[in-house]
A and B are shown apart, each in its own frame.
Chain A
Amino acid sequence: MIDFAIYMTTIVCIWAVLAISLNIQFGLTGLVNFGQILPFAIGAYSAGIASFHGLPIWVGVLAGLIMGPLIGFLVIFPTRRMAQDYWALASLGIAEMFRLTMLNFRGIAGGVEGTIVERLSDPRVAMAVSVLALVVSFIVAERISKAPLGRLLRVIREDETLAATLGRNPFRFQVVAMAVAWAMASAVGVLYAHITGFVDHGSFMVIETFIIWTAVIVGGPGRNLGVVVGAIIIQAMSVSTRFVAQWTDLPSDVVANLRLALVGLLLVVMIMYRPEGFLREKKPNYDVKS
């Protein structure tokens, strides 16, 4: 039981960081990133590629931290003139391109067989590092969200032209938001690789992006605490269906599909009846006296 709690905490922390990262992009800045799994994959594959080519661990860790924001910039730069909906599709496509490249080129990181990565042998250490990653991400995200920077990002979310006529270059600030968000996601990607001890393309399917999106929508876009709650709900649902599989003797593929159907249902219900999420974005109350 204690092993299970440790495992759950670790997984929830990692997915909560992915949700906070998406929240910085979508909830705060209005960037509809349908390729949110990409920075996570970049982090994991940085560790995977380093291990596959016999490089020391720190090379993979460092590469993961740098490559996340860097590739984020490469993704947003050529596509910045696109309207939001096209940008969303482009981000989806780019994430798939990365995954399919890793799947089809054996020489990079083992192709379809994937690659082994040195594993954090003590699960309690893995949990501690994950909790630390969540705490740091949360503090950074909250600082941005409550600061003048977050205020400006929200104005860019509401109306880019308005931000521009107020003398701000919206693109510059979108890049800042992307860099912070992708650094977080790729950092936990590195961590994830070292926790599971294995990297293959199967962990970075399109569906994972939508699991993160569901966590954000359900929890409350624009509210960091909300999206963490969202990530907990989604992961709890996911794990509990696994127990259902054990108790009911249903075949595991049926249960896996049921799980997705349940996530989809939750998403639909939330969008229809509570689009602001469980925890609504906070409205600051200014009290000025002069």
Chain B
Amino acid sequence: MTLRVDEVSLAFGQLQALDGLSLAAEPGRIVGLIGPNGSGKSTLLNVVSGIYAPQSGTVHVGGRRITAFQPDIVATMGVGRTFQVPRLARRLTVFQNMLVGGRGHRGENLWNLFVRIGAVRTDEHSMQERAYAIVRRLGLQDKINELAGQLSGGQQKLLSMGVLLMSDPQILLIDEPAAGVNPVLIEQQIVFLSQLRDEGRTILLIEHNMDMITGLCDDVYVLDGGRVLAYGTPDEVRRDPAVMQSYLGTHERKVAS
């Protein structure tokens, strides 16, 4: 599914967080989103996922307008996200978190719990198998009965990616997967994200780690002050003088030249 954002604006009081921002992301591609702190990256993710409603502009997924839909509706339409600070049920185990990631479990319906006991058991069984396959892919299989809050920061980011995958989203919004994560886990995430791209999913990736951006992204949008400052391949964007000025800083220009 294609993600399209058109002319989206959102202000918090005097602060113009998004200022007529437009972008698009296609299936089978990883689109990077970079820019200094406060440039509107996370706000954009919040608008797409329905946590904030934009004051103007539209959001479409797969040609359907989802502007200002509630977060749960956006999620059921195949748009999944992670958060910069991973959101997990910290007092529940890794596996409990994973199992809630999958939707359509008949055991979440009160009636079924007392009437369709067999169906509940069947769903639980298949949900557990799926969760275990993903957990193994992430290398967390030895941790399934540990509390999510007791994992390291990097493992929590992996877990929230796993929880996200349980619902098989077609559009993934990933917020800073590498921040504060050790290099081995970053490497693992790069492999993982490129696999997801090859499965034909649409990925929008916020990241400050430039190795990850250049290694993974097909296109990059550079945001500044809530608008798109530059757009292109990672290399094009890297050479853009305006980008160096605003984001990479003047020191980087000297190194580059």
- In the bound complex, residues from chain A placing their C-beta under 8 Å from that of B99 are 148, 151
Give CA–CA (A194, B133) in the complex, Å: 55
Give a binary string over B93-133; 1 marks a CB under 8 Å from any A CB, 0 the rest: 10111011101010111100110000010011001110111
Q: Which of A143, A147, A283 contacts B93 (CB 8 A)?
A: A283
B167 at the interface (CB under 8 A from A): yes
Q: Sorted from nearest, which 9 A-B pairs have the closest CB atoms?
A: A148-B107, A167-B75, A158-B89, A164-B71, A162-B87, A288-B132, A167-B76, A155-B89, A286-B95
| Total count of chain B residues near the partner, CB < 8 A | 45
- In the bound complex, residues from chain B placing their C-beta under 8 Å from that of A169 are 70, 72
Give a binary string over A162-175; 1 marks a CB under 8 Å from any B CB, 0 the rest: 11111111100100
Give CA–CA (A193, B108) in the complex, Å: 34
B212 at the interface (CB under 8 A from A): no
B140 at the interface (CB under 8 A from A): no
- In the bound complex, residues from chain A placing their C-beta under 8 Å from that of B220 are none
Main secondary structure on B side of the interface with A: helix
Q: Which residues of chain A in 132-189 are interfacial with respect to chain B, using CB atoms and an 8 Å cutoff?
A: 140, 143-144, 147-149, 151-152, 154-155, 157-159, 161-170, 173, 176, 180
Shortest Cβ distance from B146 into A: residue: A283
B147 and A290 form a contact (CB under 8 A):
no
Give a binary string over A279-290; 1 marks a CB under 8 Å from any B CB, 0 the rest: 001011110101
Give CA–CA (A9, B172) in the complex, Å: 56
Given contacts A147-B120, A170-B72, A286-B128, 19 further A-B contacts (CB under 8 A): A148-B99, A148-B127, A149-B108, A149-B109, A154-B92, A159-B87, A162-B88, A164-B71, A164-B75, A165-B51, A165-B80, A166-B100, A168-B72, A173-B108, A284-B96, A286-B95, A288-B95, A288-B128, A288-B131
- In the bound complex, residues from chain B placing their C-beta under 8 Å from that of A157 are 89
A149 and B110 form a contact (CB under 8 A):
yes
Q: Name the distance in Å between B163's Cβ and chain A's nearest Cβ.
A: 7
Q: Which of A151, A164, A180, A283 contacts B147 (CB 8 A)?
A: A283
- In the bound complex, residues from chain A placing their C-beta under 8 Å from that of B75 are 164-167
- In the bound complex, residues from chain A placing their C-beta under 8 Å from that of B145 are 283-286
B41 at the interface (CB under 8 A from A): no
Give CA–CA (A152, B101) in the complex, Å: 9
- Would you list 26 pairs from A and B whose C-beta atoms are within 8 A, ordered by A residue? A140-B114, A143-B114, A149-B110, A151-B96, A151-B100, A158-B88, A158-B90, A159-B88, A159-B89, A161-B51, A162-B87, A165-B51, A165-B71, A165-B87, A166-B72, A166-B103, A166-B167, A167-B167, A168-B103, A168-B108, A285-B145, A286-B95, A286-B128, A288-B132, A288-B144, A290-B133
- In the bound complex, residues from chain B placing their C-beta under 8 Å from that of A173 are 108
Give CA–CA (A288, B87) in the complex, Å: 25
B91 at the interface (CB under 8 A from A): yes
Q: Which of B72, B81, B97, B129 contacts A288 (CB 8 A)?
A: B129
Chain A contact residues, CB within 8 Å of chain B:
140, 143-144, 147-149, 151-152, 154-155, 157-159, 161-170, 173, 176, 180, 281, 283-286, 288, 290
- In the bound complex, residues from chain A placing their C-beta under 8 Å from that of B103 are 166-168
Asked whether A176 and B110 contact (CB < 8 A) given A165-B81, A166-B101, A285-B145, the answer is yes
Q: Name the distance in Å between B94's Cβ and chain A's nearest Cβ.
A: 9
Give CA–CA (A166, B49) in the complex, Å: 11
Give CA–CA (A152, B96) in the complex, Å: 9
Give CA–CA (A162, B49) in the complex, Å: 12
- In the bound complex, residues from chain A placing their C-beta under 8 Å from that of B123 are 148
Asked whether A158 and B72 contact (CB < 8 A) given A149-B107, A149-B108, the answer is no
Q: Which of B91, B93, B108, B163 contacts A158 (CB 8 A)?
A: B91
B113 and A158 form a contact (CB under 8 A):
no
Shortest Cβ distance from B98 into A: residue: A286
B132 and A290 form a contact (CB under 8 A):
yes
- In the bound complex, residues from chain B placing their C-beta under 8 Å from that of A290 are 129, 132-133
Q: Which of B72, B113, B132 contacts A147 (CB 8 A)?
A: B113
B72 and A164 form a contact (CB under 8 A):
yes
Give a binary string over B211-223; 1 marks a CB under 8 Å from any A CB, 0 the rest: 0000000000000
- In the bound complex, residues from chain B placing their C-beta under 8 Å from that of A176 are 110
Q: Name the distance in Å between A159's Cβ and chain B's nearest Cβ.
A: 6
Q: Name the distance in Å between B74's Cβ and chain A's nearest Cβ.
A: 8
Give CA–CA (A168, B80) in the complex, Å: 12
Shortest Cβ distance from B173 into A: residue: A165
Q: Name the distance in Å between B122's Cβ and chain A's nearest Cβ.
A: 12
- In the bound complex, residues from chain A placing their C-beta under 8 Å from that of B93 are 283-284, 286
A148 and B124 form a contact (CB under 8 A):
yes
Which of A155, A163, A283, A290 has the most chain B CB within a 10 Å cutoff?
A: A155
Give CA–CA (A6, B195) in the complex, Å: 66
Give CA–CA (A290, B128) in the complex, Å: 10
Q: Name the distance in Å between B120's Cβ and chain A's nearest Cβ.
A: 7
Which of B72, B129, B133 has the most chain A CB within a 10 Å cutoff?
A: B72
